[in-house]
Structure 1
Amino acid sequence: MSAGTHHVLAATDPKADPEAFNASDAAPAPSPAFVLGDFSIDEYKPMKVAVIGAGFSGVLAGIRFRQHIPNVDVTVYDKNAGVGGTWYTNRYPGLACDIPSHTYQYTFEPRTDWSAFYAPGPEIRAYLNHVVDKYKVRPLIKLRHELLHARYDDPTSKWHIRIRRSVDDKVEEFEDVVDVLFAGVGGLSRWNWPDVEGLKEFKGKLIHTAEWDVEDDGAWQEGVKDWKDKKVAVIGAGSSALQVVPALQPYVNKLVNYVRSKTWISYTFGGKTLGKLSKQGENYHFTEEDKAKFRDTEYYKTFRHELEEEVNSVHTSTIKGSAMQNGAREAFAQMMRTRLEKKPWIADHLIPDYPVACRRLTPGPGYLEALCEDNVEFVPKSVKRFTEKGLVTDDGQTEDFDVIICCTGYDTTFQYPFPIIGRGGVTLNQKWSPHPTTYLACCVDGFPNYFFSLGPNGAVGSGSLTAVIERHVEFAVKATKKMQRERLRSLEVKEEAAKDFDEYLENYFPSSVYSEKCRSWYKMGKEEGRIVGLWPGSCMHAIRALEHPRWEDFNYERDVGTNRFRWLGDGSTHVEKYFDGEGAFYLRDEEIDFPPIPKDE
């Protein structure tokens, strides 16, 4: 309700001033005369959209907004010098997808020539660049353009965003004003050094996996070729460490892996489907014969569908006490002990007491085998502090190193380094403190015309992440299309709708293994507490939930006047008004809903 409407109601309320009220005052204030719009119903108003981030979400947004929204101006801003998001910034040794490659791609753009079951990082980045060029998104992308500030302006219902452009050693700032702001920044884009005393004291080479000092794909081998006499420490046992350790082990004199938390190593995801091609297991590298089979459209479609079905089938294992959960714990523990047979004592320190999938689960091809190598030492202790020459553990043990590699993760609190300011001057960081809340992991009350992908509760614990990203983007596109078609100034989710989703979250997660005690980015890096990283359900559940937006959960502000049907315009369509286009568009094949012919019983 606008402030102006509040004023009219107060002036005509007898309780406001009983003595001054009489019968003539009770008449409603005259409404402004309704004026038909001077536009055809499909003469769509121009829409301007800003997308932040050029990773999987941002690239897809560049495709889908332009595909489904007529008369739209889309700009994709990214602070990096190249496309790819986290796949651009991460260049560490062994970087690879930790789910099957064929499930980590857009549904509409299959790649049939992945080199391995778990594709290396450079191939994923190359895939995204291929998509960018094929769908002509590159002209929309502004690289080295960093978001500094975003503010929603109530009077105009526009987003004012401040961008810093760094090109050719020149740095300048400018403002862009847009109708819709879409954030594709992701939850794993702001990396953290370990919170350990004396970090800056170390005089050797200090590296974080998210900022590996290489420029070219695969160039890390060149950088470590002189490490054969080096003593290297790797801190952590998350997904990055599980890839770095086996990749570096053959290149160094000694590698020491410091691990404070236990972690599950899983079997190969999709191993049943992969087994039809090979019994090799782990990270199978596809042969030319395999790739030739994949070029058969029907064969590939069947392979991919069976693989995704298999990956989606493990959701039940995330439910406490389920038969699949219990079976996974037994099978994974046995597998880990078998692979650690050369150093069986490590299993006692690595196999967790908490359920499978409480933390992010990864197969970690080659990690356990690397721990068993003679030049690798496993230290199940926390690092207490850095020294000039090395590290000190919590029990006082000191060791010197030439290189220390921190696989210590990301800031997963969803507290952004740039202000996003909604209604009433409230920032998103304020709104999301002490923990973030959303509506269906797509938008948030108090922030009109603002949508996002892979925000709080946006990721999934199993299944295809890219399929969920597609639904996040689709949700934002549908909302923008509604704004354009109905000539709305703003579209904002109702506070009560966001609260209801929050209540659903609070009641869902206690039944899942994610709520058990284990340190995880799902809980903002804590052992216990609010689950902010994951969708409350399976991958397919998220896809279904986002399929049909519930517009009744939103408030709208109309462009001009109060008549909700002003968007009908002057009674014409564009074709009739301008004699431009097809006069019977409803007969096009893509417009006709052909019903299937029932089969005989």
Structure 2
Amino acid sequence: MPAEFSESAIDAARPMRVVIVGAGFSGIVAGIRFLQRVPNVRIAIYDANAGVGGTWFANKYPGLACDIPSHTYQLSFHDKTDWSSFYAPGSEIQAYLQSVVEKYNLWPFIRLEHRLTSAIYSEATGKWNLTIQHKDSDGNIQHLEDSADVLFTGMGGLSRLKWPDIPGLQSFGGKIVHSAKWETDEGDKDGPWEDTVRSWKDKRVGVIGVGSSAIQIVPALQPKVKHLINYVRGKTWISFPFLGERAEKLGMRKGEPNYVFTDKDKEAFKDPAYYKEFRRDLESDLNSIHVVTLKGHPVQEGGRAAFKADMLQRLATKPEIAEHLIPDFAVGCRRLTPGPGYLEALCQDNVEFNPTEIKQILPTGIETTDGKIDELDIIVCATGFDTSYQLGFPIIGRGGVQLSDEYKPHPKLYLSVALSKFPNWFQSLGPNSAVGSGSLLIVIERQVEYAVEATLKLQREHLKSMEVKPEAVEDWDAYLETIFSERCRSWYKQGNEEGRVVALWPGSCLHAAKALKSPRWEDYTYELLDGHTNRFFWAGNGTTVAEETPGADRAWYLSEVDFPPG
């Protein structure tokens, strides 16, 4: 063959090195799919935490649970039939993820307590050069170097906790904890949350926030403390439990916050046909909720009226709370949270709802702007995460471009998975990946599959790099003007009341799954390996691996026949 063409068979698999950052849902799925679908691949999965599970390992706060039905919050290819309850606790979800790692034998590829500290793209080699920080057996900080043909990150938008910007925060003389770092006493950070609050029965506790974490923490702590004050700055819609009518058919009493599956339920789920139908019906119903988030849609208006009536009924003994809590903005402007038990907890005698802005934190408690001072023993900051996507370490692309600069004034990605000037890098759960309804996991799976397909293209066509075109990024950014743009403070808008929505996909989770299924390779530019100039370098020496391998199947295409109906 001429020198400008490969001497290998057309389907000889070029060796590929893939580095995956994060061992939550995204990283675990990526590890499975890259090993399954990319031949001649070597992978490494780095995670800063001490265990797998991502947010489900890092978060251990009281009341942590899934806010959609457990059977809709699992991978499409790995069923769990013995969930303990309709809305599973966080510890059970983390255990599920660990079981996935074990079943698909990912442990040899995972490096825990290994934190990515820099990623620099080499234009000369077409590889990402990475620096990973970890501690050796003596506790000394070490840095290791790695490189990747493809970098896949699944770090999540809700993984960097944010302390509230309140004067005097560090002056408090009691315990102060963050919902995303639940540590209250030395040595108890890895135990069940119930163990961490056994000594709180005589304590006065302040909980700052009204996001999904605070809404779960307040009812969990209420019966275990002497007095609880919930400091609430904004308003939020509290829905009834998602698909609660399904749980009622199983036996949950109306108004009950959760349903514990019986042995009879779990035995029935062992029937594959029954389980498949049950799960499919649940997910179909969940995917029908998206219209509630569409501005001006009759279903949204109906949902708004129903949620308001429900909240008023549940707050009947303390109607003044409803005046402060029920929003004047549409459903979907903030994350819609079912919040089982939250409103009921606010009505208890030992709970106080304080909507006045906090002025400062004192050594003995909290002072609000009206001059009121609450003496407290413990402050819980359920104040969320840094959603600026400023990662705190350098990711440097082509031409020395810094990701932190590219993400100002707001992040711009292509289909939430790729970024111009950053070749061979694909993301899951990056900016505009979250969904306002439905299960996020099908989106994660499709983002992973997109990255796998891109990697196969790089391998198959002997490409040094593929990089999304700037005009494709701009076109997608223009499309991103969504219906979640009303005035309300939300992590969707980086914690602001107004501004660009940077968290949500501009459509339903089904819309995302369809959009990611068939990549538009024409939206990318490409470089060939080793300076080759003929785009058909990959065509090789005119043969296939089967022809060069004794005893190989040389009629493999007869095993791939797609028989038409007839």
Q: TM-score range by the shorter chain?
A: over 0.9
Deviation at 1:572, TM superposition (A): 1.2
Please give the alpha-carbon distance, in whole angstroms, between the structure 2 residues aligned to 1:218 and 1:255: 23
**Which residue does the alignment assign to 2:323?**
348
1:63 aligns with 2:32: yes
1:401-435 CA deviation, whole Å, 9 max, x = no partner?
Answer: 00000000000111111111001111111101110
Partner of residue 130 from structure 1, selected from 87, 93, 99: 99
1:234 aligns with 2:201: no
Matches within 5 A, 1:24-423: 34-168=3-137, 169-213=139-183, 219-280=192-253, 281-423=256-398
Please give the alpha-carbon distance, in whole angstroms, between the structure 1 residues aligned to 2:99 and 2:303: 38
Deviation at 1:279, TM superposition (A): 4.0
Please give the alpha-carbon distance, in whole angstroms, between the structure 2 residues aligned to 1:172 and 1:85: 22
> 2:419 is matched by which residue type in structure 1?
V
**Which residue does the alignment assign to 2:538?**
567
> 1:430 is matched by which residue type in structure 2?
D
Is contact 1:50–1:178 with CA below 8 Å preserved after alignment? yes
> 1:210 is matched by which residue type in structure 2?
A
Deviation at 1:282, TM superposition (A): 2.7
**Which residue does the alignment assign to 2:549?**
578
Given the two structures, how large is their TM-score scaled by the length of structure 1? 0.91
Deviation at 1:519, TM superposition (A): 0.4
1:99-148 CA deviation, whole Å, 9 max, x = no partner?
Answer: 11111110111111111111101000000000000001111100011000
Is contact 1:234–1:406 with CA below 8 Å preserved after alignment? yes
- Structure 1 328/41 Cα, relative in aligned 2: closer, same or farther at 3 Å? same
Partner of residue 476 from structure 2, selected from 501, 512, 519: 501
> 2:561 is matched by which residue type in structure 1?
I
1:433 aligns with 2:408: yes
SS at match of 1:48: strand
> 1:570 is matched by which residue type in structure 2?
N
**Which residue does the alignment assign to 2:509?**
539
**Which residue does the alignment assign to 2:422?**
447
- Structure 1 226/344 Cα, relative in aligned 2: closer, same or farther at 3 Å? same
Please give the alpha-carbon distance, in whole angstroms, between the structure 2 residues aligned to 1:251 and 1:596: 63
Please give the alpha-carbon distance, in whole angstroms, between the structure 2 residues aligned to 1:585 and 1:595: 19
Please give the alpha-carbon distance, in whole angstroms, between the structure 1 residues aligned to 2:274 and 2:332: 32
Q: Which one is further off, 48-57 or 372-381?
A: 372-381
SS at match of 1:377: strand
SS at match of 1:391: strand
Count how many residue pairs are aligned between Structure 1 and Structure 2. Answer: 559
Please give the alpha-carbon distance, in whole angstroms, between the structure 2 residues aligned to 1:153 and 1:275: 57
Partner of residue 399 from structure 2, selected from 419, 424, 438: 424
* Residue identity (%): 56
**Which residue does the alignment assign to 1:555?**
525
SS at match of 1:211: coil
SS at match of 1:232: strand
Is contact 2:157–2:430 with CA below 8 Å preserved after alignment? yes
Please give the alpha-carbon distance, in whole angstroms, between the structure 1 residues aligned to 2:439 and 2:538: 39
Deviation at 1:215, TM superposition (A): 5.4
SS at match of 2:198: coil
Deviation at 1:330, TM superposition (A): 0.6
Deviation at 1:534, TM superposition (A): 0.4
Deviation at 1:34, TM superposition (A): 4.6
Q: Which one has a bigger Cα radius of gyration? A: 1
Which ranges in structure 2 are unaligned for 5 or more consecutive residues? none
SS at match of 1:378: strand
Deviation at 1:530, TM superposition (A): 0.2
Please give the alpha-carbon distance, in whole angstroms, between the structure 2 residues aligned to 1:274 and 1:581: 53
Deviation at 1:216, TM superposition (A): 7.0
Please give the alpha-carbon distance, in whole angstroms, between the structure 1 residues aligned to 2:417 and 2:563: 32
Please give the alpha-carbon distance, in whole angstroms, between the structure 2 residues aligned to 1:187 and 1:172: 27
1:55-79 CA deviation, whole Å, 9 max, x = no partner?
Answer: 0000000000111100000100001
Q: Which one is further off, 570-579 or 177-186?
A: 570-579
Deviation at 1:578, TM superposition (A): 2.8
**Which residue does the alignment assign to 1:517?**
487
Is contact 2:52–2:97 with CA below 8 Å preserved after alignment? yes
* 4+ residue runs over 4 A deviation: 214-218
Deviation at 1:217, TM superposition (A): 6.4
Please give the alpha-carbon distance, in whole angstroms, between the structure 1 residues aligned to 2:188 and 2:265: 31
Given the two structures, how large is their TM-score scaled by the length of structure 2? 0.97
Is contact 1:574–1:580 with CA below 8 Å preserved after alignment? no
Partner of residue 470 from structure 1, selected from 437, 442, 445: 445
Please give the alpha-carbon distance, in whole angstroms, between the structure 2 residues aligned to 1:443 and 1:580: 42
Is contact 2:174–2:377 with CA below 8 Å preserved after alignment? yes
